Structure 1
């Protein structure tokens, strides 16, 4: 009987101390983690997506582009969301505007290929 009274008394003292803390302090680490995720992951991704949307909206004929599939080409026609891309002379394909990864370096297309001496 003495053992049960002592265990009961110990249980009450521990329970009373656990409830005395400020409940707001439990949420501070969660708020800090969210702030870190926002500034290191979410915000940069949103900024990059906004820049990509701006790039897609400003595409025009004559731009050299790179598609998500790795195809380089020059835009020769635009019909809403469909771009006609010229890969070589008389070789054209159509791609959706959303599959454009970015602008390609147009300087590489204009340089003549040098011939090697054998």
Structure 2
């Protein structure tokens, strides 16, 4: 009863065809990706690289903070593990990758960039 017939729309003005319209549509997406790369992805990669270098430079006598919040002094360093003294004669073995902060044995902390 209330149905109205649907008609195909008549051809209007000719739209640009080919690869040029596709490129114009892709420019905003590419621009967003570039912005994300320089504002989010790249700084995070640099932070991870800096943290990895800090963990690899852990030495005996350094004060460390683990990911679980334990604070102690490094007594032994292996390839993947670090032995940390958290109290007098209390030593725990910690996975090197879980270290969140390291203060060198001299106590001087390098300046953050």
Provide the TM-score with structure 2 as the length reference: 0.77
Q: Which segments of 5 or more consecutive residues in structure 2 lack a partner in the other structure?
A: 108-113
Which structure: greater helix fraction?
1
- In the TM superposition, structure 1's runs of 4+ consecutive aligned residues that sit over 2 Å from their partners are 16-23, 104-107
Are the aligned partners of 2:55 and 2:99 in contact in 1 as well (CA < 8 Å)? yes
Query: 1:47-100: CA deviations, max 9, x gaps?
Result: 000001101111100000000001100000112211110011111111010110
Which structure has the larger Rg?
A: 1
Q: Report the aligned-residue RMSD.
A: 2.4
**Equivalent in the alignment of 1:36:** 35
Q: TM-score, normalised by structure 1?
A: 0.74
User: Where does residue 12 of structure 1 map in the other structure?
Assistant: 11
How far apart, CA to CA, are the structure 1 residues paired with 2:56 and 2:104? 19
Q: How many residues align?
A: 100
Matched with 1:46 is 45
